[in-house]
Structure 1
Amino acid sequence: MLKHSPLNTLADLAQTDTDAAARELGRLQGLRTQAELQLNQLTQYRQEYRERMQAVAAQGMSSSRWQDFSRFLDALDQAIRQQGAALAKAEADLLAGRSHWQHQKRRLNSFDTLIARAEAKQEQVAARREQRANDEYAARLVRTAASRLSEA
């Protein structure tokens, strides 16, 4: 196992970056959800206000009251448009955050793959070294046995 290799250091840094990107992605998801909730609330409030306006209008209302209702509906429409733009920005930020997290995750996976390859190579070298030592030991035993036989 590669304990203190530069690859492990880089993998640790990549893990830190991936974790930070994941936290940011969660934050962005929360902002997007909040923006959508606010837009839905504004839209619902506009619908309720419009229904109230229609109920009052059915009973008869002055032109100044009609204008007040209309101005407030216009203001609500403007707020809905602004909130729609805020939601669109939150969605774009979320997509960018997701892309950044995916990039960091791929980077981390690359380091993990490189570490696994290096460990496999290190294990292979150790296995060869052990095999060589076993072969030398077996050869030494054979030579020792052969020399004892020849001396006898």
Structure 2
Amino acid sequence: MSNVLHILIDQAKEKAESCLKAMAKTQQLIGQGDQKLAMLTQYETDCHTGLHNRASQGGITGLHLRNQNAFVGKISQAIEQQRQELAFLATTLTHQQQQYQLALHEQRKYEALVAREKRREAHKEAKRDQKMNDEYAARIARVHAAGELS
């Protein structure tokens, strides 16, 4: 039984390590996504500022305004997509954290069973040793008693 438990412990450890690797990858993607979102947001702000500056300096044509607004609209769509991607990654990370906790719980459960089995074996061995010591003491007492009777 102990061999089986050690195999299960090893499998649970591997699963926990796999979960940690997946979490690290997801956190890396979140970091990259945050950078991309910041870049897109800054770019959108720069486009608005540029449009405003250009309009205040000498005006712009209606065609240019329409094209610029369409371009900024595409940037806004990209920002929204990036936010959705980050929300998905955050949900994924939460799920991965739960899976990691489950793997750790499973590993600890099996380790507790192994520890319990070791305590039980130690208790059995202690009882066996005590019984042998008692028998030895009884034998010595009989030998001494027999020697005193002679």
User: What is the match of residue 20 of structure 1?
Assistant: 18
User: What is the match of residue 73 of structure 2?
Assistant: 74
User: What is the match of residue 52 of structure 2?
Assistant: 54
Q: Which runs of 5+ in 1 are unaligned?
A: none
User: What is the match of residue 110 of structure 2?
Assistant: 111
* Amino acid across the alignment from 1:138: A
User: What is the match of residue 4 of structure 2?
Assistant: 6
Q: Distance in 1 between matches of 2:45 and 2:139?
A: 94
**Once the 2 structures are TM-superposed, how far is the Cα of residue 5 of structure 1 from its aligned partner?**
2.2
Q: Distance in 1 between matches of 2:122 and 2:39?
A: 61
Contact persistence 1:18–1:105 (CA under 8 A): yes
Normalising by structure 2, we get a TM-score of 0.93
* Amino acid across the alignment from 2:85: A
**CA distances 1:30-88 after superposition (whole Å, capped 9, x unpaired):** 11222222112111211122111111111111222212211110010010111111111
Q: Distance in 2 between matches of 1:103 and 1:36?
A: 28
Where do 1:70-109 residues align within 5 Å? 70-109=69-108
User: What is the match of residue 135 of structure 1?
Assistant: 134
- Off by >3 Å, runs of 4+ in structure 1: none
Q: Which runs of 5+ in 2 are unaligned?
A: none
User: What is the match of residue 147 of structure 1?
Assistant: 146
Q: Distance in 2 between matches of 1:93 and 1:126?
A: 49
* Amino acid across the alignment from 1:142: A
User: Identity across aligned pairs (percent)?
Assistant: 27
Q: Distance in 1 between matches of 2:73 and 2:38?
A: 17
The Cα RMSD (Å) is 1.4
Q: Per the alignment, in what secondary structure is the counterpart of residue 49 of structure 2?
A: helix
Tell me how many residue pairs correspond in the alignment: 149
**CA distances 1:90-129 after superposition (whole Å, capped 9, x unpaired):** 1111111111111111111111111111111111111111
Q: Distance in 2 between matches of 1:128 and 1:29?
A: 53
User: What is the match of residue 35 of structure 2?
Assistant: 37
Normalising by structure 1, we get a TM-score of 0.92
